[in-house]
């Protein structure tokens, strides 16, 4: 059996364009984000149960990754969790506004980041059981802009369990957690316990040692073949499948 393909940032971008493009599959962003966010919520729910980890802090960046987080927050609410959304730089696209509104309509607090987003995050982390990291996606390029540099440091310092979406925030999409933190000893990237790769894993997570899931069960077979993705079979009608961790055999 061939091993699953790990994508460069460029190929991941190309796949997204083909999934949505007029000459491709013509998925809308609404469709893909709904399925991706559902897979993220299901992954968190597969590892952290509502009784022990009811309070989820969903940390959203300003791009599509943040949109996945907003969708995940809504599904987590449906699953019985108590999610809160931390979004210091809301995206400007219409879709984020709608997704944010849908959270509000589901009684999910969007945390007020005024006057200081770091103060907000610090107290939010005190009152959370698990963090969903939907900050940066596969188009991330360093350096990390404020306030996200401090956001990542605070999440790490909190020692709360972290579930990262697609690529742990701060990681080089192809190199892994290689960027130095200019203000301290280690690297800038989060070290999540759980990762949910979307469509296919990225190059940078080859050595990821936590529990690793795959979501995004919407890639046409002919398409997966053309890109030689070698995706594993999903069980039954599930929307996620667990992958072996680094070091384990496929």
Sole binder of a second copy in the list 4, 5, 6, 27 (CB under 8 A): 27
**Residue 213 marked ligand-binding:** no
The reply to whether omega before 134 is within 30° of 0 (cis) is no
Q: How far apart are CA 131 and CA 2, in angstroms?
A: 33
Q: Provide, rounded to whole angstroms, the least separation between the CB of residue 167 and a second copy.
A: 23
Sole binder of a second copy in the list 3, 10, 17, 26 (CB under 8 A): 26
**Cβ-proximal residues to 51 (8 Å cutoff; 6+ apart), any chain:** none
User: What order of strands is seen across the sheet that includes strand 130-134?
Assistant: 82-86, 55-60, 130-134, 162-165, 194-198, 211-215, 240-243
Our CA angle for 77, 173, 85, nearest 5°, is 20
Q: Provide, rounded to whole angstroms, the least separation between the CB of residue 118 and a second copy.
A: 31
Q: How far apart are CA 69 and CA 165, in angstroms?
A: 8
Q: Does 102 bind a second copy (CB under 8 A)?
A: yes
Provide the pairing of β-strand 240-243 with 211-215: antiparallel
Q: Does 217 bind a second copy (CB under 8 A)?
A: yes
Sole binder of a second copy in the list 236, 247, 248, 249 (CB under 8 A): 236
**Cβ-proximal residues to 199 (8 Å cutoff; 6+ apart), any chain:** 7, 12, 15, 16, 19, 216, 219, 229
| 98 vs 206, beta carbon nearer a second copy | 98
| 73 vs 188, beta carbon nearer a second copy | 73
Q: Does 51 bind a second copy (CB under 8 A)?
A: no
Contact stretch for a second copy (CB under 8 A) within 134-142, 145-153, 200-208, 235-243:
235-243
CB atoms within 10 A of CB 119: 11
**Binding region for K(+):** 65, 133, 169
**Binding region for (6S)-NADPHX:** 64-68, 137-143, 166
Residues within the interface to a second copy (CB under 8 A): 24-28, 30-31, 34-35, 38, 41-42, 45-46, 74-75, 77-79, 98, 101-102, 105-107, 217-218, 220-223, 234, 236-237, 239
């Amino acid at each position: 059996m061939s091993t699953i393909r790990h994508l460069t940032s460029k190929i991941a971008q190309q796949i997204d364009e083909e999934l949505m493009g007029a000459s491709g599959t013509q998925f809308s962003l609404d469709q893909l984000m709904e399925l991706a966010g559902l897979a993220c919520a299901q992954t968190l729910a597969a590892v952290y149960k509502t009784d022990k980890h009811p309070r989820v802090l969903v940390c959203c960046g300003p791009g599509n990754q943040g949109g996945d987080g907003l969708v995940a927050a809504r599904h987590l609410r449906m699953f019985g969790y108590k999610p809160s959304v931390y979004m210091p730089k809301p995206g400007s696209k219409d879709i984020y506004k709608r997704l944010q509104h849908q959270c509000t309509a589901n009684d999910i607090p969007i945390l007020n980041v005024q006057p200081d987003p770091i103060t907000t995050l610090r107290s939010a982390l005190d009152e959370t059981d698990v963090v969903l990291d939907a900050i940066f996606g596969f188009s991330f390029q360093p350096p990390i802009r404020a306030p996200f540099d401090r956001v990542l440091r605070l999440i790490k310092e909190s020692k709360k369990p972290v579930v990262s979406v697609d690529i742990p925030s701060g990681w080089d999409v192809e190199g892994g957690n290689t960027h130095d933190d200019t203000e301290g000893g280690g690297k800038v990237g989060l070290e999540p316990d759980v990762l949910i790769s979307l469509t296919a894993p990225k190059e940078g997570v080859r050595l990821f040692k936590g529990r690793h899931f795959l979501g995004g069960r919407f890639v046409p077979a002919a398409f997966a073949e053309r890109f030689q993705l070698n995706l594993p079979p999903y069980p039954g009608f599930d929307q996620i499948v667990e992958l072996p961790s680094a070091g384990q055999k496929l």
